[in-house]
Amino acid sequence: MTKNVEKLKNDVPVNVKSSGPFQDLEDRMHDLEGRFENFFSADWMRPSTWEFPEWASLGHADLKVPKMDIVDRDVDILVRLDLPGVKKEDIDVSLTDNTVTVKGSTGEEKEEENGDYYLRETMKGTFSRTMVLPSEVDGSKAESTFKDGVLEIVVPKHEKARRHTIKIS
């Protein structure tokens, strides 16, 4: 048994390329198989592992779920969302207990007429994102700003939820 284990340790796999009348066909099939493996990820049958495409690839009308950052600071919580192409008046922010919900919509209409050619497109998209905040907050003192497609919401923490420094004696 020990000799077999030693033999396996010393064996090194070697890629041996076969030759013959069907080698070209075999190479092409191997290349095609590799292309399919690259096209379909290993998780294609598990939708729960799929990631949404980046916002830039979606266009303004196909909004899905915006990226949201939640930063737990000493006295407050910062919630930041990237919302390119969304107008300030199309955003709705609400706080309930320790959750924040951001809803929004966007729309675009395009009309083009050129002789016998007429085009009219209406594109609309909506999104909604709700997240639980990491501590108790005072929603009545929340403030928000929207600049250059970035929404920032600052929500102060309740006094009992704030970090306190404890000196070691």
- Rounded to 5 degrees, φ, ψ at 71 are -110, 120
Nearest to 100 by CA among 123, 71, 64: 71
pLDDT digits (tens, 9 = 90+) for 56-115: 444 444 446 788 899 999 899 999 999 988 899 999 999 988 899 999 988 888 888 888
pTM above 0.85, yes or no: no
- Tell me which of 2.60.60.20, 3.30.390.30, 3.40.50.720, 2.60.40.790 is the CATH number of domain 55-161: 2.60.40.790
For the chain, the structural domain boundaries read 2-39, 55-161
